[in-house]
Amino acid sequence: KQKELENQEMSERMKDERFVEQGLAIIEAMGIPVIEKNQDRAYYSPNEHIIVLPLRKKCSSDKAFLALALHELCHSTSKALNRDMSNAFGTAGYAKEEIIAETATMFMCLNEGIETFNSHAQYLEGWASHFVDKKKVLLSVCKQAKEAQQFISDKVAEHTLKLANQATFTAPNQ
């Protein structure tokens, strides 16, 4: 799918618009509130079941802002898929969840036909550095990442079907 995306004849502006359009549709389908705060970090709060992002103007583009939201959406699948979100920052458990969410984000982008980022690899490599056997960790989380991506894709499909089935006519004036 990545090769197929790379071979598409689309301008950068069109790719950005498609990413934003599809990103917003995914967020809407998931139904998790996304709140902007004047801060420098993004996170998913399992207790409140919300996503908190830095102000949109702090991001380099709408696309970058939505990429953060999609990553956090992948964390939001943790409760439904029984992943532990209680690990402290810097621990192996926390690193594993970050790897799952980032891999799921990459899978989701590919599945939805939107552009992925070179930064996925750097992000994964950074969190994988918490483990002695990086390849083993990356392979072990792929199943969980695929489950997270599938959970989101199923929600998107349900939402798309629901929208398609809504009445598209208006009643006559008389």
pLDDT given for residue 61 in this prediction: 83
- If you average pLDDT over residues 44-57, what whole number do you get? 94
Q: Mean pLDDT score of the chain, rounded to an integer?
A: 86
pLDDT given for residue 10 in this prediction: 57
Q: Is 11 exposed, middle or buried (0-12, 13-18, 19+ CB in 10 A)?
A: exposed
Measured CA to CA, the distance from residue 23 to residue 66 in angstroms comes to 6
Write out the two tokens for 171. 């009643």
Q: 113 with 1: CB under 8 angstroms?
A: yes
Greatest Cα pair distance in the chain: 73
pLDDT at 13 over 80: no
pLDDT at 172 over 70: no
Measured CA to CA, the distance from residue 142 to residue 148 in angstroms comes to 10
Measured CA to CA, the distance from residue 128 to residue 136 in angstroms comes to 10
Write out the two tokens for 96. 């594993």
